[in-house]
Chain A
């Protein structure tokens, strides 16, 4: 299995080559280098997945966890050290496939999308860096290796969001993304420190005794780690960076902010799942509540956004909420007794990565064609961009949960798991699924139907929408193909909470309820948005003006960011400290210096060279001394 090192090494080398020598290359050459190295990685990942899943299960009927290679990178003490390794188990293999597929699609797509862009080489270098970090994250053999790549993923995201570094909005967004996730990572780090100390190891499978002895500290550590996961996976209220991250190039949004990096938090919880279930069930339930709220909040905001990338961003947040909920509602490691959510979450992660990447890349095509992100510049595009239209529709149907598209199967599993946990949770999540169908079709109609773009008030006569080049449409078709068939993968046989093969049974009641809700939502969206005029939508917006405005402004949560950085950190802490430093501490030392100087000035008169004066001092001194001696 030593060949697996190439999976990490190839993108890293391509990053180094493109980063150091990219500027001396033609942009096409740079793109080809990046794409070829990634295609190789994808082939290796598929080979790994194929040979792993067709390989034998062990005696307990479980796919074995294989450590392909592992070495000691940084020793701390006799028992703690950071190792670097490559772990192969069902979820890491699944993630390898997801990441390399989406990344390869994005590499190919970017040829068209970024064509003629300044910094094309730099773009591919960063893509390679990101892919390397993300792959390293999922194959980590221990929590610290995961943290290392976690940070690297964060920095690649920072670099890619800020790709258009002359745009103020991009600069601010990249900074915000990095600092918010870094803040969350602080929780992750402290969690790792506690875990490392009490479990006595950074590996994912610690000694049971150590965990029991640690008492409440292990749940605490796991809770803190979840904060890190919540930051990356945009859980409320740490989600504020993700919508702004849409300032990056659209393929980047597809890769990082929809399919791979943002699910790192879900992956983290899944990776530590036995510990969460075994030692911190309460934490897991809190994860479910937070995630459910996030899903609802994001869905409600997505209903009113006008920037298509923002709609997709909020839908991503909402869908990640679904995955987290699925993990959170697990009550046992056995899939037949409350462990179904684990499989459902991983399944949804897989299908979501494909259809959300598809939607984002489709959005990229549209933006490429009409040169704006705003829905006010779109409408009636179905005639001009047939391939984009069809593939986008497939993506929308999948995310809405319509049979036979992949989203239907994974979402249904999640809903079943929720109903098993509690009916309330089940109904809430079904309702949110309905909202998903609604806002996605609002988006779909707004782009491809509705008032044609050239009849809108702010019509730009220079815009002539047309279908994009093949390099952009091929990835769309591939991803749409996967979206159509992925639901029929016997996922439970490959990934399940305790590793045993598990056959998915669709719960008919749940299935019918969710289908009905989804179809009703789509019909409502059709009624409201498909026509040339949209009186209902306008009326509703007018009727609930305050609510509409609040949702449009994301319930003013972004103000929190400004408040914390500008007001608290900048104004209330740093400015007083800096003032204190200059005016109190520094002045104290200046005062000491001045005091010494002044005292010197005062007593220099004594050294006058005047003998009579010296005599007087001498006599006075003697007199005082005599007096002291006598008394």
Chain B
């Protein structure tokens, strides 16, 4: 059996296990066991993939296989991975693994919560391994729907409103997407849904011009493209910790991944026509998100807007269409996924103790919960692109890559986007200065305790990943760059 199918089978088995679980211990055992297997699997896959490539394996994707499941439309369950999807799978497993520890004490309806959580991760894994457009779309929907319940039931604050808004906006995006996918399918002759095969066919330019914006917008909504990002602040603010982690860490990456894999790869002519317009939107996202984050008072809002800025940078880099910038975009997805998950995990832990996320009510946390405070500061440094953390590697690759495009328009956009690194420093240090430092003002907070073991597992694991990529980036950069190369060269 294909190793990739395990990424779908294991979560399904986890679902069955959860269904059969009788008590909390069994639920948690199932989750940890399943997530550990998936993590081990993705590490194994990465190593195996690198080995195969070094041994000289050819082809755009490895581990491919295809099983037809709807003959009339030639829809197949086709899977395959290249360096990009391998990295995304690795990211997903890390976030799912740590997400479980971050929701260790979640009440009530723990079993049901984890079932939806697992279903969501099934969709995510399925999306990254699929090479068939329709299958991909199906997994995409599987990943979106559980979000509605996870926020609506287990969320906080205006959770119904947030859940509804998020789902409707993302569904609106997927409506565009479906039309776009059908357009690609028929444009390429209506014989195959497999994107590797479509890539070798030529879709007429006028069809590309029509369908590129639909596909790009469809995925772009999920990638928090301005002005379709407003679901993100409310959604994140209301979602429970692990859901925020999974959402910002992985689900938003589906958008960037889709834009690159489907919109750019299959519709290069469309990208050439619409690229400038979308580049302006993404540049706005980058700066706009950063500036919005400066004045927020809710920790999760700050992070949500920061995500708008950082995910904007992903789409920005993709639209630059150079090998270096697209490599940077993928590293940025990975890096942003890890560090946002870290941030949301820490915010969840702080909220769980203080019951507030308002920065005006928090002060001197360094004195009260040093572990969490130090973790938060490290996450902040990673976020503002300090060397030694993954964010720096990603941002520098993006900026150097974007600068390779030699015309004034792209240059101006690049320089505008680089200013975000200063604004990021402003909002990160503002929060750190306000809530971590100083003398605790709230008497109640003095009684609070520092992180417990399960929380430490999540935080340390994520910090190690972020710092690991930041200090030894060459292998991941090579892995991604070699997979980006055939896609970029096919555009020219």
| A76 CA to B403 CA, complexed, in Å | 12
Q: Does A72 contact B (CB under 8 A)?
A: yes
Tell me the residues in window 168-218 of chain A with beta carbons closer than 8 Å to chain B beta carbons: 168, 171-172, 174-175, 178-179, 182-183, 186, 189-190, 193-194, 196-197
B interface residue count range (under 10 / 10 to 19 / 20 to 34 / 35 or more): 35 or more
Interface residue stretch chosen among A331-339, A515-523, A581-589: A581-589
Interface residue stretch chosen among B64-72, B206-214, B392-400: B392-400
Q: Does A116 contact B (CB under 8 A)?
A: no
| A206 CA to B421 CA, complexed, in Å | 28
- B387 and A152 contact, CB distance less than 8 A: yes
Q: Does B366 contact A (CB under 8 A)?
A: yes
A-chain residues with CB within 8 Å of residue B418 when the two chains form the complex: 186, 189-190, 193
A-chain residues with CB within 8 Å of residue B291 when the two chains form the complex: 569, 573-574, 577-578
| A193 CA to B294 CA, complexed, in Å | 27
| A175 CA to B397 CA, complexed, in Å | 27
**Which of B367, B404, B425 lies at the interface centre, i.e. has the most chain A CB atoms within 10 A of its CB?**
B425
A interface residue count range (under 10 / 10 to 19 / 20 to 34 / 35 or more): 35 or more
Q: Does A148 contact B (CB under 8 A)?
A: yes
Tell me the residues in window 223-241 of chain B with beta carbons closer than 8 Å to chain A beta carbons: 227, 230
| A171 CA to B437 CA, complexed, in Å | 7
Consensus secondary structure, chain B interface: helix
Q: How far is the CB of B107 from chain A (nearest CB, A)?
A: 31
B-chain residues with CB within 8 Å of residue A303 when the two chains form the complex: none
Query: A162-B437, A175-B429 given as contacts; is B419 within 8 A of A186 (CB)?
Result: yes
| A590 CA to B17 CA, complexed, in Å | 40
Q: Does B296 contact A (CB under 8 A)?
A: yes
| A193 CA to B227 CA, complexed, in Å | 29
A-chain residues with CB within 8 Å of residue B294 when the two chains form the complex: 569-570, 574, 578
| A75 CA to B477 CA, complexed, in Å | 7
| A175 CA to B423 CA, complexed, in Å | 13
- A175 and B324 contact, CB distance less than 8 A: no
Query: A166-B438, A171-B437 given as contacts; is B165 within 8 A of A76 (CB)?
Result: no
A-chain residues with CB within 8 Å of residue B168 when the two chains form the complex: 593
| A590 CA to B231 CA, complexed, in Å | 11
Query: A155-B386, A196-B400, A586-B230 given as contacts; is B366 within 8 A of A179 (CB)?
Result: no
**Which of B288, B295, B423 lies at the interface centre, i.e. has the most chain A CB atoms within 10 A of its CB?**
B295
| A586 CA to B295 CA, complexed, in Å | 17
Query: A74-B474, A77-B323, A577-B292 given as contacts; is B422 within 8 A of A171 (CB)?
Result: no
- A74 and B397 contact, CB distance less than 8 A: yes
A-chain residues with CB within 8 Å of residue B10 when the two chains form the complex: none
Q: Does A73 contact B (CB under 8 A)?
A: yes
Tell me the residues in window 331-360 of chain B with beta carbons closer than 8 Å to chain A beta carbons: none
Q: Does B375 contact A (CB under 8 A)?
A: no
- A183 and B422 contact, CB distance less than 8 A: yes
- A182 and B425 contact, CB distance less than 8 A: yes
A-chain residues with CB within 8 Å of residue B421 when the two chains form the complex: 182, 186, 189
Q: Does B99 contact A (CB under 8 A)?
A: no
A-chain residues with CB within 8 Å of residue B422 when the two chains form the complex: 179, 182-183, 186
| A553 CA to B406 CA, complexed, in Å | 47
Q: How far is the CB of A180 from chain B (nearest CB, A)?
A: 10
A74-93 near B? 1/0 per residue, CB < 8 Å: 11110010100000000000
- B324 and A166 contact, CB distance less than 8 A: no
Closest A residue to B292 by beta carbon equals A578
| A297 CA to B358 CA, complexed, in Å | 42
B-chain residues with CB within 8 Å of residue A614 when the two chains form the complex: none
- A578 and B296 contact, CB distance less than 8 A: yes
B-chain residues with CB within 8 Å of residue A194 when the two chains form the complex: 403
- B437 and A193 contact, CB distance less than 8 A: no
| A598 CA to B426 CA, complexed, in Å | 42
Query: A74-B477, A75-B477, A175-B433 given as contacts; is B399 within 8 A of A189 (CB)?
Result: yes
Tell me the residues in window 434-466 of chain B with beta carbons closer than 8 Å to chain A beta carbons: 436-439
Q: How far is the CB of B281 from chain A (nearest CB, A)?
A: 12
- B429 and A75 contact, CB distance less than 8 A: no
**Which of B230, B324, B401 lies at the interface centre, i.e. has the most chain A CB atoms within 10 A of its CB?**
B230
Q: Does B169 contact A (CB under 8 A)?
A: yes
Tell me the residues in window 56-88 of chain B with beta carbons closer than 8 Å to chain A beta carbons: none
- A190 and B429 contact, CB distance less than 8 A: no
Q: Does B183 contact A (CB under 8 A)?
A: no
Query: A80-B400, A165-B438, A190-B415 given as contacts; is B230 within 8 A of A175 (CB)?
Result: no
Q: How far is the CB of B473 from chain A (nearest CB, A)?
A: 5
A-chain residues with CB within 8 Å of residue B158 when the two chains form the complex: none
**Which of B397, B399, B403 lies at the interface centre, i.e. has the most chain A CB atoms within 10 A of its CB?**
B403
| A430 CA to B386 CA, complexed, in Å | 41
Closest B residue to A154 by beta carbon equals B386
Q: Does B244 contact A (CB under 8 A)?
A: no
| A72 CA to B473 CA, complexed, in Å | 10
Q: Does B201 contact A (CB under 8 A)?
A: no
Point out the residue from B426, B429, B437 that lies within 8 Å of A166, measured CB to CB. Answer: B437
Q: Does B481 contact A (CB under 8 A)?
A: yes
Q: Does A420 contact B (CB under 8 A)?
A: no
| A4 CA to B244 CA, complexed, in Å | 45
Q: How far is the CB of A407 from chain B (nearest CB, A)?
A: 35
Point out the residue from B381, B396, B425, B437 that lies within 8 Å of A74, measured CB to CB. Answer: B396
Q: Does B11 contact A (CB under 8 A)?
A: no
- A577 and B400 contact, CB distance less than 8 A: no
- A168 and B430 contact, CB distance less than 8 A: no
- A75 and B230 contact, CB distance less than 8 A: no
| A144 CA to B397 CA, complexed, in Å | 12
| A23 CA to B323 CA, complexed, in Å | 45
| A193 CA to B418 CA, complexed, in Å | 11
| A593 CA to B230 CA, complexed, in Å | 13
| A483 CA to B33 CA, complexed, in Å | 66
Q: How far is the CB of B372 from chain A (nearest CB, A)?
A: 15
Query: A152-B386, A155-B386 given as contacts; is B230 within 8 A of A179 (CB)?
Result: no
| A190 CA to B412 CA, complexed, in Å | 11
Q: How far is the CB of B359 from chain A (nearest CB, A)?
A: 14
Q: Does A613 contact B (CB under 8 A)?
A: no
Q: Does A565 contact B (CB under 8 A)?
A: yes
| A72 CA to B418 CA, complexed, in Å | 24
| A179 CA to B426 CA, complexed, in Å | 7
B-chain residues with CB within 8 Å of residue A151 when the two chains form the complex: 386-387, 392
A-chain residues with CB within 8 Å of residue B364 when the two chains form the complex: 166
A328-364 near B? 1/0 per residue, CB < 8 Å: 0000000000000000000000000000000000000
B293-313 near A? 1/0 per residue, CB < 8 Å: 011100000000000000000
B318-330 near A? 1/0 per residue, CB < 8 Å: 0000011000000
| A165 CA to B478 CA, complexed, in Å | 41
**Which of B169, B292, B393, B400 lies at the interface centre, i.e. has the most chain A CB atoms within 10 A of its CB?**
B400
Q: How far is the CB of B103 from chain A (nearest CB, A)?
A: 27
- B438 and A574 contact, CB distance less than 8 A: no
| A162 CA to B436 CA, complexed, in Å | 12
A-chain residues with CB within 8 Å of residue B367 when the two chains form the complex: 166
B359-372 near A? 1/0 per residue, CB < 8 Å: 00000101100000
- B437 and A581 contact, CB distance less than 8 A: no
Q: How far is the CB of A249 from chain B (nearest CB, A)?
A: 16
| A574 CA to B302 CA, complexed, in Å | 12
- A178 and B437 contact, CB distance less than 8 A: no
| A610 CA to B165 CA, complexed, in Å | 35
- A179 and B393 contact, CB distance less than 8 A: no
| A151 CA to B425 CA, complexed, in Å | 12
- A581 and B388 contact, CB distance less than 8 A: no
- A577 and B288 contact, CB distance less than 8 A: yes
- B387 and A148 contact, CB distance less than 8 A: yes
Point out the residue from B381, B387, B481 that lies within 8 Å of A75, measured CB to CB. Answer: B481
Q: Which 4 pairs, one residue from A and one from B, show the smallest C-beta to C-beta distance?
A: A574-B294, A148-B387, A165-B437, A586-B230
Query: Can you report 8 A-B residue pairs in the complex whose CB atoms are below 8 A from each other?
Result: A77-B400, A77-B404, A165-B366, A166-B438, A179-B429, A186-B422, A196-B403, A578-B296
A76-B401, A148-B387 given; 17 more Cβ-contact pairs under 8 Å? A74-B474, A75-B477, A75-B478, A149-B387, A152-B387, A155-B381, A171-B437, A174-B433, A175-B429, A175-B430, A175-B433, A186-B422, A190-B418, A193-B403, A578-B291, A586-B230, A588-B227
